């Protein structure tokens, strides 16, 4: 079963096998987490995106590239639904977590750090973005052993921690 923990900090500094990027369909970089990952990972990440995703990536799907100069060996890119632009299908958001963990299994990553996909520029309501992350990760059938949800600010970190504790009480993973 996955051990799920909340972390307060910057995803680009996480010492894990793979970090997850909240990307967009074009897969050529952007703002938020995507901008930070490309800045720290360096040009190798973008070069790999161009080679491996010549036509970009569908919403709800995931795929991997090198981690470049990041501490993590892989970046798993996923594209969340853009709530602010009217994409409200929650199954697309849960698919991001499920597909990312499938990709982690493909490459053999055993520790993975996720940001809160769609919860920033894409405007998914924070409470539900956290609920979707926690319930999907906790319920996933995966060989990944350690998953961190990395929250950028203190208030969000506390919310994530609470929801993980609730899921653990309900018997669906977490610590």
Active site residue ranges: 34
Instruction: Candidates 60, 67, 68, 120: give the one binding ligand AR6 (CB under 6 A).
Output: 120
The pair phi, psi for residue 112, each rounded to 5°, is: -140, 140
Give whichever of 144 and 149 is closer to ligand AR6, judged by the CB atom. 149
Number of other CB atoms surrounding residue 118 within 10 Å: 28
Span near ligand AR6 by CB under 6 A; candidates 16-24, 51-59, 61-69, 86-94? 16-24
DSSP state of 11: G
Least separation, in Å, of the C-beta of 96 and ligand AR6? 9
Nearby residues of 116 by Cβ (< 8 Å), 6 or more positions away: 22, 126, 129, 130, 133, 149, 151, 156, 160
Stretch that binds ligand AR6, among 23-31, 45-53, 158-166, 167-175 (CB under 6 A): 23-31
Least gap, CB of 171 to ligand AR6 (angstroms): 27
Q: Which of 103, 117, 138, 147 binds ligand AR6 (CB under 6 A)?
A: 117
Of these, 121, 165, 166, 168, which contacts ligand AR6 (CB under 6 A)? 121
We find the least distance from the C-beta atom of residue 150 to ligand AR6, in angstroms, to be: 5
Stretch (H or E) spanning 65: strand 62-66
**Cβ 157 to ligand AR6, closest distance in Å?**
10
What is the bridge-based pairing of β-strands 18-23 and 111-114?
parallel
Both tokens of 45, joined, read 């990440």
The verdict on 36 binding ligand AR6 (CB under 6 A) reads yes
User: How far is 148 from 150, CA to CA, in rounded Å?
Assistant: 6
Footprint on residues 123-152 left by ligand AR6 (CB under 6 A): 150, 152
Give which of 133, 132, 115, 119 is closest to 76, Cα–Cα. Answer: 115
Binding site for ligand AR6 (CB under 6 A): 10-12, 22-24, 30-34, 36, 80, 115-122, 150, 152
């Amino acid at each position: 079963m996955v051990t799920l923990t909340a972390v307060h900090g910057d995803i680009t500094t996480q010492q894990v096998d793979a970090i997850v990027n909240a990307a967009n369909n074009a897969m050529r970089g952007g703002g938020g987490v995507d901008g930070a990952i490309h800045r720290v990972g360096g040009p190798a990440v973008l070069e790999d995106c161009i080679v491996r995703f010549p036509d970009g990536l569908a919403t709800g799907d995931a795929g991997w590239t090198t981690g470049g100069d990041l501490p993590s060996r892989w970046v798993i890119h996923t594209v969340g639904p853009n709530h602010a632009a009217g994409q409200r299908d929650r199954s697309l958001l849960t698919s991001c977590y499920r597909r990312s963990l499938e990709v982690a299994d493909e490459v053999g990553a055993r520790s993975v750090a996720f940001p809160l996909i769609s919860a920033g520029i894409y405007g998914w309501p924070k409470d539900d973005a956290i609920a979707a992350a926690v319930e999907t990760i906790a319920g996933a059938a995966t060989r990944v052993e350690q998953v961190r949800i990395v929250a950028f600010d203190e208030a969000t970190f506390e919310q994530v921690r609470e929801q993980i504790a609730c899921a653990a009480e309900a018997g669906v993973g977490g610590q």
